[in-house]
Amino acid sequence: MTLDHILPKERGGSDSWENLVACCQECNRKKGNRRPVEAKMPLIRRPKKPNRIYYIRQFVKREQTAWRPYLYMEPLVLDRASA
C-alpha cells in the first residue's frame, strides 16, 4: 500500500488526512499527477478523520494484552463463570 494525495502535492494538495488515501502502487502510478475525476478513478471511500484510538494503539506492547479489547484490537470476552 501507498499513500496517495487526492489533490496531488504538485498542484497544491496538502498532507492532511482529508487529502490522503491508501492506494496500491499500481493505482497510485496510474493516477499519477491527476485528480480522481481526471483519472476516472473515483474514491472507493472518502477519507475519514482518524480516531484517537488508532493513535494510542501504536503504544500498546505485545505483552499488554489486557488493553487490546478496549482499543478494539481484539474482541472483549467476559468470563461469565467468574462474574
Shortest Cβ 24–Zn ion spacing (Å) = 3
Contact 58/50 with Cβ under 8 angstroms?
A: no
What is the distance of C-alpha 38 from the center of its chain?
24
Shortest Cβ 4–Zn ion spacing (Å) = 10
Q: Which of 20, 27, 41, 71: binder of Zn ion (CB under 5 A)?
A: 27
In this structure, what C-alpha cell is assigned to residue 41?
478513478
In this structure, what C-alpha cell is assigned to residue 19?
487529502
Q: Which of 2, 14, 18, 24: binder of Zn ion (CB under 5 A)?
A: 24
Binding site for Zn ion (CB under 5 A): 24, 27
